[in-house]
Every structure is written in structure tokens, then in C-alpha cells.
């Protein structure tokens, strides 16, 4: 083979090698670009992963906080439930006390109204008794006049008794059992005088008894009225 052919072959080999070099350089460039892209993607993924880890950590912290808050809320709920049970028990007790107090108040009001009515009736009775007492007092005042009349009549009676002695023996006769009838027939004035004295004495005694009973009744009414006040 001639040198010229060798040179041509070498040039062809060099050209092929240059082409292969270019292809390799191009492929290398592509590989470098791909590697750079992969590195970028890796950095982005790493960043995303870090962000994701941070988000997960933050979420875990939030979850722990929410869990703690939930536990506190449950504790508060249980505490509020216990307080509500206690409040309900207190309300039941207070309602019972209120009902008992209302019942006692109603009974007290009824008793008070009854006492007011009793006092009103007692006041009416006292007024009636006072009126009766005033009437009796006036009657007793007139009794003083009757007493004077009795004294006067007794004096007259004593004078008449002297005259009656003479008739004593006649009173021992079979008709003596009707002594007053004989005396009445013989001396109407003396008989009427005796009857009048006896009538005034009975009236005086009756008024004294009525006065005593009225005074006792009046004192008892005042005592009851003072007790009810």
C-alpha cells in the first residue's frame, strides 16, 4: 500500500474519530444536561421532602396539641358534668325547701287570716261586752238609788213591823199558814211594801251577779286578744 493510501485511511479514521468524538461530546453534553436536570429534580425533591418532613412535624405538633386540648376538653367536660349533677342536686334540694317554705307560708297566712278574723270577732265581742258593761254600769248607778229606796222602805218596814207584832197571835190561827194572804187582806200597804223590798233585793242581787259574770267575761276576752297579738 502506498503512503498516499495510508494517509487517506488515517484521515478517514481521524474523521471518524472526530465524528465519534463529537457524538460522544454531544452525548456527554446530553448526559450532563440530564444529570443537571436530575440534580435539580433531586434538589427540588429534597426540598419538597424537607418541607414535607417539616409539614409532617408541624402536623404532629398540631395533632399533639389538639390531642392535649381534646384531653383538657374532656376533663373540663367531665368536670362540668359533675358540676351539673351537683347543681341539679342543689336545685332539687332548693325546690324542696322552696315548696316546704311555700307550704309553711300558706299555712302561716291561713293561720294569720284566722287570727285576724278571731281578733275581729273578739273586738266585736269586746265592744258588745263594753256596751253591755256600760248599760250595766248605768243600771248599777240606778241600783244605788234603789238601795236608798230599799233603806227608806226598810225603815218604813221596821215601823210597820211594830204594828205587825200585834197581829202575830192571829197568824198562829189555822189560817196562819196563809200569813201573807191575811196580812195582804188586812193591810195592803204593808204587804205591797214587803213585796217591793223583796223585788228590789232580788233585782239588786241579779244585777250584781250579772256584773261579776260580765267582768270575768270581759277580762277573759282581753286576755285572749292580748295572746293573739
- Per-residue pLDDT reduced to its tens digit, 9-62: 888 888 888 888 888 888 889 989 999 999 999 998 899 989 988 999 998 999
Instruction: Supply the pLDDT for residue 209.
Output: 78
Reply yes or no on whether the pLDDT at 183 is more than 60: no
With left for phi above 0 and alpha for psi between -120 and 50, is residue 187 left, alpha or beta? beta
**Domain contains 40:** no
pLDDT in tens, 192-221: 766 776 777 777 777 777 767 776 776 776
**Domain contains 47:** no
Task: Report residue 68's pLDDT band, with 50, 70 and 90 as the boundaries.
Answer: very high
Q: What is the CA radius of gyration of the chain?
A: 70
Angstrom CA distances, 94 to 68, 83, 147, 193, stand at: 38, 16, 74, 84
Instruction: Supply the pLDDT for residue 140.
Output: 62
Task: Report residue 91's pLDDT band, with 50, 70 and 90 as the boundaries.
Answer: very high
Reply yes or no on whether the pLDDT at 187 is more than 60: no
Reply yes or no on whether the pLDDT at 93 is more than 90: yes
Instruction: Supply the pLDDT for residue 121.
Output: 85
Instruction: Supply the pLDDT for residue 177.
Output: 44
pLDDT in tens, 119-158: 888 888 878 877 877 776 776 666 666 667 667 666 766 6
Count of domains observed in the chain: 1
**Domain contains 101:** no
**Domain contains 187:** yes
**Domain contains 77:** no
More confident residue, 130 or 114: 114
**Domain contains 131:** yes
**Domain contains 142:** yes
- Its domain, for residue 183, covers 119-228
**Domain contains 34:** no
Total-model pTM? 0.37
Amino acid at each position: 500500500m502506498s503512503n498516499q493510501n495510508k494517509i487517506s485511511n488515517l484521515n478517514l479514521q481521524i474523521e471518524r474519530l472526530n465524528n465519534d468524538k463529537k457524538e460522544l461530546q454531544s452525548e456527554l453534553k446530553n448526559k450532563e444536561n440530564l444529570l443537571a436536570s436530575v440534580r435539580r429534580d433531586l434538589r427540588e425533591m429534597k426540598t419538597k421532602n424537607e418541607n414535607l418532613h417539616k409539614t409532617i412535624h408541624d402536623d404532629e405538633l398540631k395533632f399533639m396539641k389538639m390531642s392535649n386540648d381534646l384531653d383538657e376538653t374532656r376533663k373540663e367536660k367531665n368536670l362540668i358534668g359533675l358540676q351539673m349533677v351537683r347543681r341539679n342536686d342543689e336545685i332539687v334540694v332548693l325546690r324542696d325547701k322552696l315548696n316546704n317554705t311555700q307550704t309553711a307560708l300558706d299555712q302561716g297566712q291561713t293561720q294569720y287570716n284566722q287570727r285576724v278574723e278571731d281578733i275581729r270577732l273578739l273586738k266585736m265581742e269586746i265592744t258588745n261586752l263594753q256596751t253591755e258593761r256600760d248599760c250595766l254600769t248605768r243600771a248599777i248607778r240606778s241600783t244605788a238609788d234603789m238601795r236608798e229606796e230599799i233603806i227608806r222602805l226598810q225603815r218604813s218596814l221596821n215601823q210597820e213591823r211594830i204594828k205587825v207584832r200585834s197581829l202575830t197571835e192571829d197568824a198562829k190561827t189555822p189560817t196562819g199558814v196563809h200569813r201573807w194572804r191575811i196580812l195582804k187582806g188586812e193591810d195592803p200597804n204593808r204587804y205591797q211594801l214587803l213585796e217591793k223590798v223583796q223585788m228590789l233585793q232580788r233585782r239588786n242581787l241579779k244585777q250584781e251577779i250579772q256584773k261579776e259574770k260580765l267582768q270575768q267575761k270581759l277580762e277573759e276576752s282581753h286576755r285572749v286578744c292580748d295572746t293573739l297579738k
